[in-house]
Structure 1
Amino acid sequence: MSRVRGPNSALTEFLRERGIDALAIRQRYEEAQREQGEGGQNDGAAQEGITEEDGVVTVSSATSSRNSRRQSSEPAARVRSRVSKKKKRDAEDEDDELILDRIARPKPGQIEFCAECNNRFTVTAYSKPARDGGEGLLCHSCGSKYAQEEKKQKKTQISSRKKRKSVAAALLDKQDVMVPKLQDLCIKLIARYIDDVDMLGDIGEVNMDKIARILSRNRSLKDNTVRLFLVPSVKQLRFWDCSNLCSDSYKLIASFCPQLESLVLSMCGQMTDEVLDYFTEKLEHLHAIAFNGAFLIRNPCWINFFTKRGSQLTSVAISNTLRFDRTALQALVDNCADTLEELSLSRVGNIFAADLPLLLKLTKLISLEISYMRDALTDDVIIDILKLIGPQLITLNLDDCDTLSDRVLLEGIRPYCGKLQNLSLGLGENFTNEALATLFRDWEINNGLINVSLMRCTKVGDEGVQALIEHSAKTLVILNINSVYSLTDSTFHLLATSECEFLSQLDIGFVHCVGDKEVEMLSERCPSLQLIEAYGNIRITEVAKMKPGVRLIGRQSDTI
């Protein structure tokens, strides 16, 4: 007799050491089940357990009535002990049942009858159990049939999950989920296989800009792909993520696009002095620049650029750099004073309050942004600037202006900014409710604002925002009151009943008084409303019904 034995599981060894036979266990288990059924008919529910003595497994049962008589004659502590032991035995019984089921399962190589078609088949390790919790196994043909159905169900689940993700992603991107235009499909396809495209040809600046945006979003704008956009006749280029471009690629822009008039380069951390000098030499028609993150460019290079090209610049936007200081600002002011209409300085770390009076020479400004530069903002400096350029100013952005006080509102904006249309005071945590209400109430020199941001103006409440609504309801297009915590639903009732016929975008994130009722009312009564952002508003749920054409994003249910 061969003594060669294959590998065994820990459970098999455990049972063999104690002389436990699988067939005997199964017979005793079935007997116990029958006794339990008979005992349930005669005396009520029976209690059973599997115990072991001297390597032999036995099944014992005791009726619930006998247990109750014993418990009534025993002390309470002993009763509790018996109850805990009973619970432990019940748990052990459940484990034993799982073990028995596993033992009772036919082993590979055995002959069984299919639970579905009743045909004989040989059991394998891949034989599937009967469906819907039935007993027995399935033959290969029946198992394959149901396996295919399971695959289809999984595919359906995956496709449904992808669809939900695409819907949520579109909402977060502020887009509609609809059948795309053929043109947009082609643009996405080009962007997807941009490395294999030799030449884009004449597809128009609008489509070129769309492709550039998609590539920037996917971090796919690289040295080899940027060449596709460099057409000699192009007059405007906007690259929103230049992090993968080397300095030589920047030079190609000036080499291949000599007619360039407007240039936007964002995240251009590899742009150097040599590149800007090359722009200065080659781009003779340039009149608008926006450089975000050009932190390698030093002051002498900025001074050279403004000295040679400043007289033709009408728009300058510089952000996220520490190497632009007073000397560079002085060069900008001295050389651009006669032409500059738009100036944006954001997160420019070496500009301070003592440097901003230089802007008083820029008398033609109609758009001014000084944001995220707390060290540069003081009441007196801003008021002096508004006294000079306020009467012609259309756009004013003072985001992250918590060093400013109500004086800017009452002594700067109210008396001088009669033509103002776009106002951003985000993170203005010192502006009070009363001052904002005074600014807008009876503000006769101003005909109404179009775009207003009061994001995180935490001291502002109903009075200030309602004064804004009463003043600008007929002109408002974009309103941001994100994190204006103290607002109540009365403000939104006023907004819904004030004939805001042009209001198209509304940000009410973290305004906790707003719920399903309020957003439904705004959706119905604001005819031009297209987008409501509601991040952090737990009272706005998926139950909220929006009219067709209105997107509500930021709900907890809008997850990817």
Structure 2
Amino acid sequence: MSRRQRSGNGVRGPNSALTEFLRNAGITDAFRQRREREAQEQQEGDQPTNTTTPTTTTEDEEATPDVSINATPEATPQVEEEEEEDDDEIKEMRRAAKRKLRNARHSGRRQLRSRNGGGAPSDSSSDSDDDDPNFSEDEDDLNNMNIRKFGEMDDCVECGTSFELSVSSRFIKEKAGYLCNPCNQLLKNRERKARMNQMTARKKRKRVAQALLNKTDVKIPKLQDVCIKKITENIEDVDVLGDIGQVNLNRISKILSKNRSLNDKTIALFLSPELKKLEFWDCSNVDSDSLNKIASFCPQLESLTLFMCGQLHNDNLKYFATNLPKLSELSLNGPFLISDIMWQDFFQDKTGEILDKFEIRNTHRFGNDSLISLLENSGRNLTSLKLSRLDGINSGEVYGLIPHYISESKLTHLEISYPANEELINDDLIISILSITGDTLVSLNLDGCSNLTEKFLIEGVCRFCSNLTHLSIQNLDQISNEGFVTAFKAYSEVNIGGLLEVYLSRCVGLGDEAIYELLKHSSHTLVELSINSLNLVSKNFLSQIFTENQHQYKRKLLERVQREDGDGNVKFYDYIKLPLLTYFDVGFVRSVDNEVLQLIGESCPQLKVIEVYGDNRCTSRARVREGLMIIGRQSDEI
């Protein structure tokens, strides 16, 4: 009985996995063939052993000692069974190899017939080969197949020219044949050009994306811009150029900050003894020791702006207070390492007495006592106060001290945005502040103070802020549409000049009437406007205010409204032109589509940038005038 029992699933003992792999891959087992030949030679050598002399037998035993020892009568039947089994496995592997080659030949023929318009051959022939009585096991059948070998002649599937197959000949799977060398070179050139075009298109998309981020057009840069770009790329060797001007240095500083390239080595390039104003917009890679160089190299500094200054320590602020005696303007963003006690000491020093502009953002260590110390020592001199995202101030009473310490009619810029708790800032507090310094206020930012209602607009802004030009009230969702309309109707009598910048993002209670009153008041002066996420603004309203009254559509609409005497649901809005508007944010206003975009572009001749993020009906098919950049369309490929 054989040592390995065969089963239907092909599992035959410890070597079954390897044997199954060899059978499926069509690989001939050379080791088994060699062992079969050795067994045959042994059998041929054993036959003359019985008829020869003992001397011959001795020589055979010396030549093949292992065979004479192992050739016992009990082992002979087992060896024969193994040889028969090996023969079966070899036959199966040969059969698998021929089946694999036959399938490859049939697939090539099917592709040729389908390309020539012929019918697809039947697959049943290959499946029934195993049952064919004429199916041969000889290896010569493999050689009879129409398979080309290296060194033979073949016809090119592209041009039909005969050529000699070589190792470098290229096989085309789609055409089931080889290419000659000239056709192969042409194909390589086409592929190389395709890759180059792909790289060029990728670089172009990258330039377009960078221009969109910078809100500029893709155009030929100025020579000055090219020089500044080269300087920023080789900023560490900029000393060899000598003096390049303070204006250009400021531009280079902004570019380095944007690219996160401002570090301990490059910061010294922008410091000089006669410097009075210094702005670094990204100090994340500048350590504490390098920040001390600002006070060491610029003793005449009067205005200092440091954003993302997470490495600014208590020692740095103390060093600034000691070595910058003329510092009167300080703007810091992210100084979270400076303690509450250090802030109090800084304001109590001489610097706090001359400080007239102070801005601080994104720190939890500027607490209640810090704000009280600021108001007590610098409040009467402040002309600009900006407090944003200060989680350390958690008392509404501390904010309530602001109107008691600021001087009357002196504050020009006020920002109280994103407090730790929305209940800290209420309408009465803002009205109290505006009653003291509203007549000189030109910029008011109350973003994120979501506890405010239209009351501070009606009783505060409309009554006291006659010179206001910048208004930002984003995320104030409690302001109603009717209250905003009432406020701006009254504000038209107080502020005749108009507003320059208005940001109403996510004031979800505002609708058509509110925006209409705003535009009637400030349409001739508006430069930037944001109505992001105002879902109550309708397409009918936008179409009317950006369409001239002489248009046929507007005339028919006016006649319809007059016939209904205002009793119907249709409302008529006059045409509003925005001659100075350069930036318009209509993102997530679902009523904006391609038609509205075209009307906006025609009504705003100076408009440069319009943002349409979230407006899925704005596509690349919109007809937009030249010079208007649309940012945020889903169809734009970047």
| TM-score, with structure 1 as normaliser | 0.83
Matched letter for residue 342 of structure 1: S
Q: Which moved more, 1:469-478 or 1:210-219?
A: 210-219
| Offset from partner CA, 1:33-72 (integer Å, 9 cap, x none) | 9999xxx99xxx996634535725699xxxxxxxxxxxxx
Aligned match of 2:337? 296
User: CA 1:55/1:226 → structure 2, altered by over 3 Å: closer, same or farther?
Assistant: same
Is 1:240 paired with 2:315? no
CA distance in 1 between counterparts of 2:293 and 2:481 reads 52
CA distance in 2 between counterparts of 1:392 and 1:426 reads 22
User: CA 1:296/1:32 → structure 2, altered by over 3 Å: closer, same or farther?
Assistant: closer
CA distance in 1 between counterparts of 2:330 and 2:505 reads 28
Q: Which moved more, 1:46-55 or 1:112-121?
A: 46-55
Query: Could you tell me whether the CA contact under 8 Å between 1:515 and 1:540 is conserved in 2?
Result: yes
1:219 to 253, 257, 260: 260
Is 1:446 paired with 2:446? no
Q: How does 1:363-402 map to 2 (within 5 A)?
A: 363=407, 364-373=410-419, 374-402=422-450
Shift of 1:382: 1.5
Is 1:185 paired with 2:230? no
Query: Could you tell me whether the CA contact under 8 Å between 1:295 and 1:321 is conserved in 2?
Result: yes
User: CA 1:276/1:58 → structure 2, altered by over 3 Å: closer, same or farther?
Assistant: farther
Shift of 1:514: 0.5
Alignment length (residue pairs): 504
* Stretches of structure 2 lacking an aligned partner (at least 5 in a row): 1-20, 28-91, 135-144, 547-574
| Offset from partner CA, 1:118-137 (integer Å, 9 cap, x none) | 2523332x533469x54531
Shift of 1:254: 1.0
CA distance in 1 between counterparts of 2:435 and 2:508 reads 27
Query: Could you tell me whether the CA contact under 8 Å between 1:429 and 1:458 is conserved in 2?
Result: yes
CA distance in 1 between counterparts of 2:608 and 2:113 reads 71
1:474 to 520, 524, 530: 524
Q: How does 1:406-445 map to 2 (within 5 A)?
A: 406-443=454-491, 444-445=493-494
Q: How does 1:346-357 map to 2 (within 5 A)?
A: 346-351=388-393, 352-357=395-400
Aligned match of 2:605? 527
Matched letter for residue 494 of structure 2: I
CA distance in 2 between counterparts of 1:313 and 1:34 reads 86
CA distance in 1 between counterparts of 2:518 and 2:440 reads 21
| Helix, strand or coil at the partner of 2:359 | strand
Is 1:547 paired with 2:633? no
Query: Could you tell me whether the CA contact under 8 Å between 2:102 and 2:126 is conserved in 1?
Result: no
Query: Could you tell me whether the CA contact under 8 Å between 2:354 and 2:381 is conserved in 1?
Result: yes
| Helix, strand or coil at the partner of 1:290 | strand
User: CA 1:423/1:21 → structure 2, altered by over 3 Å: closer, same or farther?
Assistant: closer
Is 1:122 paired with 2:165? yes
| Offset from partner CA, 1:418-449 (integer Å, 9 cap, x none) | 21111111000111111111111142001211
CA distance in 1 between counterparts of 2:469 and 2:364 reads 31
Q: Which moved more, 1:472-481 or 1:542-551?
A: 542-551
CA distance in 1 between counterparts of 2:613 and 2:113 reads 62
Q: Which moved more, 1:108-117 or 1:276-285?
A: 108-117
| Helix, strand or coil at the partner of 1:345 | strand
Aligned match of 1:459? 509
Is 1:358 paired with 2:398? no
Query: Could you tell me whether the CA contact under 8 Å between 1:111 and 1:123 is conserved in 2?
Result: no
| Helix, strand or coil at the partner of 1:331 | helix
CA distance in 1 between counterparts of 2:464 and 2:191 reads 71
| Helix, strand or coil at the partner of 1:231 | coil
2:386 to 344, 356, 359: 344
Shift of 1:369: 0.2
Shift of 1:450: 1.1
Query: Could you tell me whether the CA contact under 8 Å between 2:619 and 2:633 is conserved in 1?
Result: yes
User: CA 1:32/1:457 → structure 2, altered by over 3 Å: closer, same or farther?
Assistant: closer
Q: How does 1:27-46 map to 2 (within 5 A)?
A: none
CA distance in 2 between counterparts of 1:28 and 1:256 reads 83
Q: How does 1:1-40 map to 2 (within 5 A)?
A: 10-13=24-27, 16-18=94-96, 20=98
Is 1:49 paired with 2:124? yes
CA distance in 1 between counterparts of 2:632 and 2:146 reads 53
CA distance in 2 between counterparts of 1:135 and 1:33 reads 7
Matched letter for residue 532 of structure 1: I
Shift of 1:347: 0.4
User: CA 1:170/1:278 → structure 2, altered by over 3 Å: closer, same or farther?
Assistant: same
Is 1:274 paired with 2:323? no
Query: Could you tell me whether the CA contact under 8 Å between 1:28 and 1:58 is conserved in 2?
Result: no
Query: Could you tell me whether the CA contact under 8 Å between 1:20 and 1:56 is conserved in 2?
Result: no
Query: Could you tell me whether the CA contact under 8 Å between 2:108 and 2:176 is conserved in 1?
Result: no
| Helix, strand or coil at the partner of 2:592 | coil
CA distance in 1 between counterparts of 2:301 and 2:414 reads 24
Instruction: Tell me which structure has the larger Cα radius of gyration.
Output: 2
Shift of 1:140: 3.2
1:505 to 566, 570, 583: 583
Shift of 1:540: 0.7
Is 1:335 paired with 2:377? yes
Aligned match of 1:484? 534
User: CA 1:338/1:10 → structure 2, altered by over 3 Å: closer, same or farther?
Assistant: same
Shift of 1:491: 3.4
| Offset from partner CA, 1:221-277 (integer Å, 9 cap, x none) | 111111111122222221111111110010011111112222111110110010011
1:136 to 174, 177, 190: 177
| Helix, strand or coil at the partner of 1:183 | helix
Aligned match of 2:327? 286
| Helix, strand or coil at the partner of 1:263 | strand
| Offset from partner CA, 1:75-131 (integer Å, 9 cap, x none) | xxxxxxxxxxxxxxxxxxxxxxxxxxxx9774556543444372523332x533469
CA distance in 2 between counterparts of 1:248 and 1:549 reads 46
| Helix, strand or coil at the partner of 2:595 | helix
- The CA RMSD measured in Å over matched residues stands at 3.1
Identity of aligned residues (%): 40
Query: Could you tell me whether the CA contact under 8 Å between 1:19 and 1:56 is conserved in 2?
Result: no
CA distance in 1 between counterparts of 2:268 and 2:621 reads 49
CA distance in 1 between counterparts of 2:183 and 2:439 reads 83
| Helix, strand or coil at the partner of 1:392 | coil
Query: Could you tell me whether the CA contact under 8 Å between 2:526 and 2:580 is conserved in 1?
Result: yes
CA distance in 1 between counterparts of 2:215 and 2:262 reads 23
| Helix, strand or coil at the partner of 2:362 | strand
Query: Could you tell me whether the CA contact under 8 Å between 1:477 and 1:504 is conserved in 2?
Result: yes
Query: Could you tell me whether the CA contact under 8 Å between 1:266 and 1:291 is conserved in 2?
Result: yes
Query: Could you tell me whether the CA contact under 8 Å between 1:18 and 1:55 is conserved in 2?
Result: no
CA distance in 1 between counterparts of 2:231 and 2:586 reads 37
User: CA 1:155/1:339 → structure 2, altered by over 3 Å: closer, same or farther?
Assistant: same
